[in-house]
Amino acid sequence: MQRQTARTRMAKPELLAPAGDAECFGAALQFGADAVYVGAKDYGMRAAAKNFDFPALHEAVRQAHAQGVKVYLTANVLPRNAEMDAFPAFVKEVSACGVDAVIAADLGVITQLRAIAPELTVHASTQTGVVNYQTANALYALGVKRVVLARELSIAEIAELRAKTPKELEIEVFVHGAMCMSISGRCLLSEYLTGRDANRGACAQSCRWKYALMEEKRPGQYFPVDEDSDGSYILNAKDLCLLPYLKELAEAGVDSVKIEGRAKAAYYVAGVTNAYRMALDALFDDSPRAVPDWVMQELNNVSHRPYTVGFAFGQRKDLIWQEENGYIRDYEVVGIVQKQENGRLYVSQRNRFFAGDEVEILMPQKKPLVLTVTDLQNGEGEPIEAANHAVMDCSFLCDEAVPAGAFVRKQTAE
């Protein structure tokens, strides 16, 4: 068995972005993803997302391949007997759509994929819980081409795993987004409390709830689990962010860096994908350079929990966030650019904004453009003071070039 040796030139990792629907898929393509992972209507771990039926999946693959972008399909639930009976027909439909890989967690699913459609590339999901090189090698022996490592591994452990696995086996790691408090997302808490099975894509996010302690003989009297008298969010994990450590991950042998978020909105997909695209290009192009400060700031401009590096440097004690709301939202999307003509931006409104507001335009691979809304007009070209009707058409002046699909945002009121 061949082992990974030192690389003469550190390769730029693949940037893998999420998409829960067609709008998010388009954002991932436009804002720089090398690959996009999506779910079908069945067998995926995000039941709440819109996901893709087979005609939509076929069209998404066509669009992506036209731009040199790969598409990976999630089939990472832990299926029951009846679902396995229906699985062969599902696999044949997936294969016909031309996806570049299927992400699976269950050993039965993996072996069925290899038997039914050997032409399909198989990636082992993080739900498989790969935390050592022996498991990675066992999956490789089953025909798996890539392992998505558990989030609980440190960069040093990733490097050791890389050194003790075949060089042909690709390694993918999560670098950004929500983290589950259970090992690699295999959690029973949601099903136990609500009947919604997290391992079948229906997680109720019970780990984000507020918990208190109640003594048996004092019903109704709640005791805080820690020093916070308002209670404790003992399972509410912060969000992962490893953008500052992309070089270290590449040095450890990581082939693909993955953004979590198939349940997130298109603006999130666009903003986070754009930031990681800019960082990767800065660090790994022919003339490497420092990542601009504004790139990291972009990750603060999407809805997020406070960031943590997770387990990247060993066991951490700062993973929990003791807040009820759960998210920091400093910006909101107020419109999406439809076109630009004669020095005007034509926008489909998403949230209310006014003439005179300072807004920012999020565009692919560029620092956001800051401008003041001037000469605001409705869809009929009439002057207005506010764009305050849902999804209304409007326009305002803008001299700089802006592509269709760019996001118009403004800071939220404090």
Q: What is the pLDDT of residue 213?
A: 73
Q: How confident is the model at residue 197 (pLDDT cuts 50, 70, 90)?
A: confident
Which is more confident, 44 or 254?
Answer: 254
4, part of any domain: no
Average pLDDT over residues 398-407: 97
Q: What is the pLDDT of residue 185?
A: 65
DSSP 63-94: HHHHTT-EEEEEE-S---HHHHHHHHHHHHHH
pLDDT higher than 80, residue 326:
no
- The CA distance from 147 to 161, in Å, is 11
Domain edge (last residue) among 256, 276, 308: 308
88, part of any domain: yes
Residues 174 and 121 in one domain: yes
CA-based nearest residue to 155, from 279, 281, 282, 242:
242
43-47, 195-199, 255-259, 287-291: range with lowest mean pLDDT:
43-47
340, part of any domain: yes
pLDDT higher than 60, residue 324:
no
pLDDT higher than 80, residue 206:
no
Q: Beta 35-39 vs 14-18: how paired, if at all? A: parallel
Residues 202 and 170 in one domain: no
Residues of the domain holding 51: 14-179+237-308
Instruction: Please give the tally of structural domains in the chain.
Output: 3
Average pLDDT over residues 132-153: 96
List the CATH number of the domain containing 164: 3.20.20.380
Average pLDDT over residues 44-67: 88
Q: What is the pLDDT of residue 200?
A: 66
φ, ψ at 14 (rounded to 5°): -65, 140
Q: What is the pLDDT of residue 1?
A: 43
Residues 128 and 107 in one domain: yes
Which range of 139-143, 179-183, 197-201 scores highest in mean pLDDT? It is: 139-143
Tokens in use for 213?
Answer: 């302690």
pLDDT higher than 90, residue 22:
yes
Q: Is 18 left (phi over 0), alpha (psi -120 to 50) or beta?
A: beta
Q: What is the pLDDT of residue 194?
A: 83
CA-based nearest residue to 361, from 386, 334, 388:
334
Alpha helices in 39-154 (DSSP H): 54-66, 81-97, 107-116, 133-141
Helix (H, G, I), strand (E, B) or coil at 395: strand
Q: What is the pLDDT of residue 303?
A: 92
| Contact assessment for residue 328 and residue 303, using Cβ atoms and an 8 Å cutoff | yes
- The CA distance from 377 to 190, in Å, is 48
Q: What is the pLDDT of residue 210?
A: 73
Please indicate, yes or no, whether the overall pTM of this predicted structure exceeds 0.85.
yes
Query: What residues are paired with 339 via a beta bridge?
Result: 346
pLDDT higher than 50, residue 179:
yes
Which is more confident, 385 or 327?
Answer: 385
- The CA distance from 138 to 102, in Å, is 18
Residues 283 and 354 in one domain: no
Q: What is the pLDDT of residue 147?
A: 98
Q: What is the pLDDT of residue 205?
A: 77
Average pLDDT over residues 4-13: 64
Domain edge (last residue) among 168, 197, 223: 223
Q: What is the pLDDT of residue 226?
A: 56
For the segment 209-259, what is each residue's pLDDT rounded down to a tens digit?
Answer: 777 777 778 888 776 665 455 555 666 778 999 999 999 999 999 999 999
